Amino acid sequence: MDRRLFLATALFGLARIPRADAAERWLTLPATPAPIAGHSAHAEVNGISLFHVETGDGDPVVFLHGGLSNSDYFGLQVPEVARRHRVICVDSRGHGRSSRNTQPFGYDLMTDDVVALLDHLKIPRAAIVGWSDGAIIGLDMAMRHPDRVSRVFAFGANTQTSGLKPDIDKNPTFAQFIARAKTEYERLSPTPGEYDQFLQQIEKMWDSQPNWTDDQLRTIRAPVLIADGQHDEGIKREHTEYMAATIPGAGLLIFPNASHFAFLQDPALFNAALNDFLDS
């Protein structure tokens, strides 16, 4: 894949996709989709109970959601991808319907959970579709477990803490997301009364991780597409461009008039770009 910068409306002929271009779509936080239909189960891995749901047939694709959220957020993407792929959608440890233990949160630990789940499901290798923390996990897998990753669609990621904008929690859209995440946690979690402790643990991880070097990123050999919304609330644009320029052969895709929640704000465009990358 050539290292190029694309606006999604010019990529793969996506400008032909009919959709409503609300002038301030990127300021909205659309509703969380309904739970994904499929075979759901819990896998006992690394001292926790990891929820996952499977649907579709074909080459495996693992969906990894962002911090504080859950697998329901990919409800507009999974049915489309499952037309041609076996999809495994995961609730990361401590998130959604998955449990956590006393181990401090870390991207390496959550990556190891995903690898253990692949072992449990007897899947030798899978494509990773990640949003935010899920995208970071996908890149970590590509570095530390390269034989388990076929490609990575990394949306809204950062590889250094300096890539985050300050005071992201004060952004109105992101503040709305955090409030929603609390309600969803209390409804889904096996420990519904522990959201504040959970949030503190995640924020501690965000304050200190990830901090990968250029040399570490240059070890990635899987095809990678670095993607983000034009108006991401938390990731600096220059950092997104840095990641694409540093990871060997990575592409860069910016969704116009969208933010850190582009997959909810413009699912038609997001899905077209995702399917093109997975099937290329």
What gap in Å lies between CA 105 and CA 118, rounded to an integer?
A: 20
DSSP per-residue letters across 81-125: HTTTEEEEEE--TTSTT----SSPP-HHHHHHHHHHHHHHTT-S-
49-to-68, 91, 101, 153, 237 alpha-carbon distances in Å: 17, 10, 10, 26, 36
Q: Which of 132, 128, 135 is nearest to 150 (CA)?
A: 128
Structure tokens at 199: 């949030």
pLDDT, average across residues 65-76: 98
The strand pairing partners of 39, in sequence order, are 54
pLDDT, average across residues 39-48: 98
The crossing angle, in degrees rounded to 10, of helices 133-144 and 107-120 is 70
Share of the chain above pLDDT 70, in %: 92
Average pLDDT, the chain: 93
The strand pairing partners of 59, in sequence order, are 85
Structure tokens at 258: 């969208």
Cα-flanking dihedrals φ and ψ of residue 137, to 5°?
-60, -40
What gap in Å lies between CA 2 and CA 216, rounded to an integer?
A: 20
Q: Contact 168/245 with Cβ under 8 angstroms?
A: no
CA atoms within 13 A on the CB side of 188: 24
Question: Would you say residue 6 has pLDDT above 80?
Answer: no
- Summarised one tens digit per residue, pLDDT across range 219-273 is 999 999 999 999 999 999 999 999 999 999 999 999 999 999 999 999 999 999 9
pLDDT of 169 reads 83
The residue with tokens 């060997």 is 248
- Summarised one tens digit per residue, pLDDT across range 183-199 is 999 999 999 999 999 99
Q: Is 271 helix (H, G, I), strand (E, B) or coil?
A: helix
Question: Would you say residue 218 has pLDDT above 70?
Answer: yes
- The topology under which CATH files domain 34-279 is Rossmann fold (3.40.50)
What gap in Å lies between CA 136 and CA 214, rounded to an integer?
A: 15
What gap in Å lies between CA 226 and CA 252, rounded to an integer?
A: 5
Residue 10 — very low, low, confident or very high, per pLDDT cuts 50/70/90? very low
Q: Contact 252/280 with Cβ under 8 angstroms?
A: no
Q: Contact 111/144 with Cβ under 8 angstroms?
A: yes
Question: Would you say residue 129 has pLDDT above 60?
Answer: yes
Q: Contact 99/190 with Cβ under 8 angstroms?
A: yes
Q: Contact 15/264 with Cβ under 8 angstroms?
A: no
